[in-house]
Structure 1
Amino acid sequence: MTDLSGRTALVTGGAQGLGEGMARALAAAGAKVAVADVQDDLGTKVAESIGGVFVHLDITDDSGWESGLAAAVDGLGGLDVLVNNAGVEITSLITELDPADVKKMLEINVLGTALGLKHGLRTMRPEGAAGKGGAIINVSSVAATIAFPGISVYSATKSAVDRLTRAAAMESGKLGYGVRVNCIYPGLVPTEMGAGLADDVAQLGLFESPDAAVGGVVELTPSGRLGTVEDMSDAVVFLASDQAKFINGAGVPVDGGMGM
Structure 2
Amino acid sequence: MKHRRFTIAAALLACGGWVVAPAAADELKLDPGKPIKHYTSNSNDGYSTGRGMVFTAQESFELTGLGLYTKAESTPLNATLEVYKIVVTRGNVLAGATLVGKGTGPLRGPLEYHNVDLDAAVNIEDGASYLVRFLYPEAAQENWFYDFDPVRFGDPPVDLGLVLLIDGTQGGNTGNFVAPPIQLVYSSGCKYTIKKSKAKGGCNTCPAKGDSFSSGQDCEVVEDCDKKVKGKISCPGGGNGFCKIKGKRSSCG
Taking structure 1 as the reference length, the TM-score comes to 0.23
Q: Which has the higher helix share?
A: 1
For the pair shown, which has the larger CA radius of gyration, 1 or 2?
2
Q: Which has the higher strand share?
A: 2
Larger RCO of the pair (alpha carbons < 8 Å, separation 6+): 2
